[in-house]
Structure 1
Amino acid sequence: MSITIIRGTQMDKMMIKSCALLLVPLLFFGCFAGCIDTQEKNTLKILHAGSLSVPFAMLEKRFEERYPWVDVQREAYGSAAAIRQVTELGKTADLIASADYTLIDQMMIEGETKWAESNVLFAKNAIVLAYTDSSRGADGITADNWYDVFRGDDVRYGFSNGNLDPCGYRSVMMIQLAESAYGDDAIFDDLVERFCGIYAQVQEDGGVVVNIPSDIAPTGNLMIRPKEVDLVSGLQSGDIDYAIEYRSVAIQHGFNYVELPDAINLGSVDFRDDYAKVSVQQYCDMPGFGELIGAKPIFYGITVTLDAPERDLALKFIELLTGEEGQAIFEESGQPPIVPAVCTGKPLK
């Protein structure tokens, strides 16, 4: 079986240093499979962002069909929480996939303790407003008036916890960016600050830092859940009218959704400089615990942990993910693949 060699290229206008993504050819597994007890299976453990659940379920099926002696075991978390399972709670995992590639860089590669060396960027996304036919205001909401619809006294909406999940901090980034995009400096106050402990501070350079405390304490019309997929049931049941979600989540669950302007949806590299004017400070009341994260286009990353028990299988999984089959799965799932995949850190081998 041949193994695709994927080489990184300079991605137009991206603020990353691409390095060659080299998948070293592995030993043929057929002999190995014939030598083990038929009841035994190698376990490949993957911790991943909740928004990767649907495409990773399809990848799991393809991978186990290709390597029937392997049992792929997956756990979904908010991306930061997934990483902390390894870095703070001592869990063993072969692969970690994040909805924000920079979390892997910051939390696993660049710190004093190294948990990984390479970070493969493989898919993109954008922020949308998901809703159903029964949502209040559904018959009139547009990309031009959504924030006024959200201001309605009886309209309930939600986003995920930005301390745990990239979609959560991207949601408040999007709302803050909306103030300048729509020329309305009350949007963040009206939609976020009056309902929870999250608050924004204007900096001397004109940028804005959104502070997320450990106790967000949402009230009123706002629902906050640990990760973005946790809002799906609230939307389906009618507990909320709108969820600030990834486009892929809306597509995968069959929701209606409002496409937001590129200036605020975090989906376009053309607006990376505008996005960069907004940052989020996680756990703002716990110095040294959370990350200061700048707004940027949404790119997913995956890494093999340094102590991965099944490193060779992990590399095989990345080969599937970044190859033609994986690209087709992500396209179908509403998460356009990055072709060719690129990486930060050391070449993957």
Structure 2
Amino acid sequence: MIAITAGCTSEPKVVSVYHAGSLAQPFQAVEKNFEAANKNTDVQLEAAGSVDTIRKVTELGKQADVIGSADYRLIPQMMYPKYADWYIVFATNEIVLTYTDKSKYANEINADNWYEILQKPDVLWAFGSPNIDPCGYRTVMTIKLADFAYNKPVFNELLASHTAITIKEINGSYLITTPEALNPDTKYVTIRDKSEDLVSMTLAGGIDYAFEYRSVAEQNKMKYVELPPSINLKDVRYESTYAKVKVTISNGTIQTAAPIAYGITVPTNAVNKDLGIKYVEQVINENGQKIFRDMGQPPTVPALGSGNIPEQLKKYVEMIN
């Protein structure tokens, strides 16, 4: 009897998934599918800005079975070759400006005047930290791209005038630097470690407007301004326009503006590597694609693979290099 009882109460295998904040809701849905398909497992999700998510493994000595990043490029940049040797691109997104009925000038704001509304002295707007959160550095990129789209000094008015973020032109391209101390003028702009932290602040009326991913806006039933494709980092047709803007974040890496693409991998030092691979499968298979589609985040179909892709995932991916 003792042996049988012990067998029945064996500890579930923990699957540690470190992920971007914007993946929280879809990954919770994937967790349910995964645990139903893999008995006696316990998926533990941990959200942070993607840069910090990866740093937990590469600098803080933590062990994750899955890494999900809002920018796939961070995986080869920060994890290769020691902590990863493959990644899969599995979803897209776009930058929008969220607000509520309580936001100042909510009845006036639109895709043509949003940057003028944000400049008003009684408006408080916000974005995620570009040094920690890809949505943060993508917001900085979007604001610079707005200079070209509207032929107005949007970057100077919104960022250079109210933060320590700087910019210089180099041969027709623009290199933005986001120092560790961003020093926002908090009468006008608020910065948080990850953009998802701003959702509750916006809904509660603590801030008027926040830059977010469209999927986050839709999952939280927020109103949002849909930005032009030349600045929202969604449209591959504007890839060459986007690429004119680069951001050096505080860890020294340079991020080039490009269409938004999410990446996922299993670290080389994962404790439960096989289960990590199975979790990735649940993200990129048809069930996973449906979850992302239903939550306002278009999946990449087929998913795109690079590097030493595990055998059981190869049927889902098209290799890009």
Band of TM-score, shorter chain: over 0.9
State the partner residue of 1:183: 151
Give the 3-state SS of the residue equivalent to 2:217 in structure 1.
helix
How far does residue 37 in structure 1 lie from its aligned partner after superposition? Answer: 4.7
State the partner residue of 2:314: none
How far does residue 273 in structure 1 lie from its aligned partner after superposition? Answer: 0.5
1:216 to 164, 170, 182: 182
Kindly indicate whether residue 65 of structure 2 is the aligned counterpart of residue 94 of structure 1: yes
How far apart, CA to CA, are the structure 1 residues paired with 2:29 and 2:108? 36
How far apart, CA to CA, are the structure 2 residues paired with 1:328 and 1:282? 34
Alignment deviations for residues 222-260 of structure 1 (CA, whole Å, 9 cap, x no partner): 000000101012101211110001000100101001110
1:140 to 91, 108, 111: 108
Amino acid at match of 2:160: E
How far does residue 36 in structure 1 lie from its aligned partner after superposition? Answer: 5.4
1:334 to 288, 296, 303: 296
Kindly indicate whether residue 247 of structure 2 is the aligned counterpart of residue 323 of structure 1: no
State the partner residue of 1:173: 141
Alignment deviations for residues 82-141 of structure 1 (CA, whole Å, 9 cap, x no partner): 0000000000111101000000011112xxx52101101000000000000111111011
Give the 3-state SS of the residue equivalent to 1:262 in structure 2.
coil
How far apart, CA to CA, are the structure 2 residues paired with 1:224 and 1:68? 41
Amino acid at match of 2:135: C
Kindly indicate whether residue 39 of structure 2 is the aligned counterpart of residue 68 of structure 1: yes
1:235 to 180, 198, 202: 202
Q: How does 1:75-154 map to 2 (within 5 A)?
A: 75-109=46-80, 113-154=81-122
Alignment deviations for residues 48-84 of structure 1 (CA, whole Å, 9 cap, x no partner): 0000000001111111122230000110010000000
Amino acid at match of 2:306: T
State the partner residue of 1:262: 229
Superposition TM-score, scaled by structure 2 size: 0.93
Amino acid at match of 2:151: G
Kindly indicate whether residue 19 of structure 2 is the aligned counterpart of residue 48 of structure 1: yes
Q: How does 1:151-170 map to 2 (within 5 A)?
A: 151-170=119-138
Alignment deviations for residues 136-175 of structure 1 (CA, whole Å, 9 cap, x no partner): 1110111111101111110110000000000000000000
How far apart, CA to CA, are the structure 2 residues paired with 1:189 and 1:269? 26
RMSD of the TM alignment (CA)?
Answer: 1.2
8 Å contact kept, 2:83–2:267? yes
Superposition TM-score, scaled by structure 1 size: 0.86
Amino acid at match of 2:164: G
How far does residue 311 in structure 1 lie from its aligned partner after superposition? Answer: 1.1
State the partner residue of 1:31: none
Alignment deviations for residues 197-219 of structure 1 (CA, whole Å, 9 cap, x no partner): 1111111x110011100011111
How far does residue 189 in structure 1 lie from its aligned partner after superposition? Answer: 1.0
Amino acid at match of 1:68: K
Q: How does 1:13-24 map to 2 (within 5 A)?
A: none
Give the 3-state SS of the residue equivalent to 2:75 in structure 1.
helix
State the partner residue of 1:16: none
How far apart, CA to CA, are the structure 1 residues paired with 2:310 and 2:70? 19
Amino acid at match of 1:176: K
Amino acid at match of 2:126: G
Amino acid at match of 1:103: L
1:59 to 15, 20, 30: 30
8 Å contact kept, 1:163–1:290? no
How far apart, CA to CA, are the structure 1 residues paired with 2:139 and 2:166? 13
Structure 2 residues not aligned, in runs of 5+: 1-5, 312-321
How far does residue 346 in structure 1 lie from its aligned partner after superposition? Answer: 2.1
Distance 1:37 1:305, change over 3 A: farther
1:348 to 287, 291, 310: 310
How far apart, CA to CA, are the structure 2 residues paired with 1:231 and 1:246? 12
Kindly indicate whether residue 213 of structure 2 is the aligned counterpart of residue 246 of structure 1: yes
State the partner residue of 2:262: 300
How far apart, CA to CA, are the structure 2 residues paired with 1:146 and 1:322? 35
8 Å contact kept, 2:66–2:280? no
How far does residue 348 in structure 1 lie from its aligned partner after superposition? Answer: 2.5
Structure 1 residues not aligned, in runs of 5+: 1-34, 284-288
How far apart, CA to CA, are the structure 2 residues paired with 1:187 and 1:321? 38
